[in-house]
Structure 1
Amino acid sequence: MSLDKLKLSKPLVTAMNDAGYISAKEIQAKTMSRIIGGQDIIAVGPEGCGKTTTYVLGVLMKLKYSTDEAPKVLILVPDGERVEAVIAEFMLLSKNRDLRIIGLYGTGGMEEEINTLLDGIDIVVATPTRARAVYLKLGLNLNRLQTFIVDDAEVIVKQGMQLPVAELARSAGKVQHLIFTTVVHDKLNLMIDQFMNFPVTIEVEDLGESKAETHALLLYQVPNFKTKINLLNLLLRDDEVFDKVIVFVNSRLTAQKLSNNLHAAKPGAVAVLNPLFFDEEGFDHIDDFKVTPEARVLIVANEGFSGLDLSGIHFMFHFELPEEKETFLSRAVKEGEEEVVAITFATDLELAEVRKIEQSLGKKIEVAALPDDLVIDKSVKVQAVKTRKETEDAPKGGGAYHEKKESNSKSYNYGIGQKAKMTMKKKHG
Structure 2
Amino acid sequence: MEITSFEQFELNRQLLNAVADLGYTEPTPIQQKTIPLSLGNHDVLGIAQTGTGKTAAYLLPLLMKVKYAQGNSPRALILAPTRELVMQINEAVGELGKYTDLRHLALYGGLGPKTQIETLRKGVDLLVTTPGRFMDLYRLGEIVTKDIRTMVLDEADKMMDMGFMPQIRSILEVIPTKRQNLLFSATFGGRVERLSAEFLEAPVKVEVTPQASTADMVNQVIYEVPNFRTKINLLDYLISKDTFQRVIIFARSKSNAENIYKFLARKVVETAQIRVIHANKGQNTRINAMDAFKEGNVQVLVATDVAARGIDVAQVSHVINFDLPLIYEDYVHRIGRTGRANHTGEAITFLTMAEEYHVQKIEKIIRMTIPRQPLPPQVEVAETPFDEQQEMLRSVDEQRRKEDPTFLGAFHEKKAKNLPGGKDRLKIKAKLPGTKKTSSQASGGRSGGASRKTGSAKGASTGSSKRPSSRGGHR
TM-score (norm 2): 0.49
Q: Give yes or no for contact 2:429–2:435 (8 Å, CA) kept in 1.
A: no
Q: Secondary structure at the match of 2:355?
A: strand
Distance, in Å, in 2 between the alignment partners of 1:25 and 1:102 is 27
Distance, in Å, in 1 between the alignment partners of 2:11 and 2:455 is 55
Distance 1:154 1:310, change over 3 A: farther
1:248 equivalent in alignment to 2:355: yes
Which of 100, 105, 110 is the aligned partner of 1:102?
105
Q: CA deviation at 1:75?
A: 0.8
What does 1:8-407 align with in structure 2 at a 5 Å threshold? 8-172=11-175, 173-205=177-209, 209=216, 246-248=353-355, 255=392, 257-261=394-398, 262=400, 278=416, 289=433, 309=455, 316=462
Q: Give yes or no for contact 2:131–2:164 (8 Å, CA) kept in 1.
A: yes
Q: Give yes or no for contact 1:166–1:195 (8 Å, CA) kept in 2.
A: no
Distance, in Å, in 2 between the alignment partners of 1:184 and 1:280 is 50
Q: Secondary structure at the match of 2:8?
A: helix
Q: CA deviation at 1:165?
A: 1.4
Q: Give yes or no for contact 1:248–1:316 (8 Å, CA) kept in 2.
A: no
Distance 1:94 1:266, change over 3 A: closer
Q: Secondary structure at the match of 1:248?
A: helix
Distance, in Å, in 1 between the alignment partners of 2:79 and 2:172 is 10
Q: CA deviation at 1:286?
A: 9.8
Distance, in Å, in 2 between the alignment partners of 1:286 and 1:199 is 61
Distance, in Å, in 2 between the alignment partners of 1:312 and 1:19 is 47
Q: Give yes or no for contact 1:101–1:121 (8 Å, CA) kept in 2.
A: yes
**RMSD between aligned alpha carbons?**
4.2
Relative contact order higher in (CA < 8 Å, ≥ 6 apart): 1
Distance 1:267 1:193, change over 3 A: closer
- The AA in structure 1 aligned to 2:178 is K
Distance, in Å, in 2 between the alignment partners of 1:280 and 1:169 is 60
Distance, in Å, in 1 between the alignment partners of 2:407 and 2:137 is 60
Q: Secondary structure at the match of 1:141?
A: coil
TM-score (norm 1): 0.54
Q: CA deviation at 1:311?
A: 7.8
Distance 1:268 1:308, change over 3 A: farther
Distance, in Å, in 1 between the alignment partners of 2:33 and 2:460 is 43
Distance, in Å, in 2 between the alignment partners of 1:165 and 1:153 is 10
Which structure is higher in helix share? 2
Q: Give yes or no for contact 1:76–1:125 (8 Å, CA) kept in 2.
A: yes
What CA deviation, in whole Å up to 9, does each residue of 1:363-411 have, x standing for no partner? Answer: xxxxxxxxxxxxxxxxxxxxxxxxxxxxxxxxxxxxxxxxxxxxxxxxx
Aligned residues: 274
Point out the more displaced range, 257-266 or 164-173: 257-266
Distance, in Å, in 2 between the alignment partners of 1:278 and 1:119 is 67
Question: Where does structure 1 lack aligned partners over 5 or more consecutive residues?
Answer: 216-221, 225-244, 293-306, 318-429
Distance, in Å, in 1 between the alignment partners of 2:106 and 2:191 is 27
1:365 maps to what in 2?
none
Q: Secondary structure at the match of 2:73?
A: coil
What CA deviation, in whole Å up to 9, does each residue of 1:290-329 have, x standing for no partner? Answer: 899xxxxxxxxxxxxxx96478769959xxxxxxxxxxxx
The percent identity for this pair of structures is: 24
What CA deviation, in whole Å up to 9, does each residue of 1:245-301 have, x standing for no partner? Answer: 9442689586354345447999996699xx9x6489999779964899xxxxxxxxx
Distance, in Å, in 1 between the alignment partners of 2:417 and 2:34 is 59
Q: CA deviation at 1:168?
A: 0.8
Q: CA deviation at 1:183?
A: 0.9
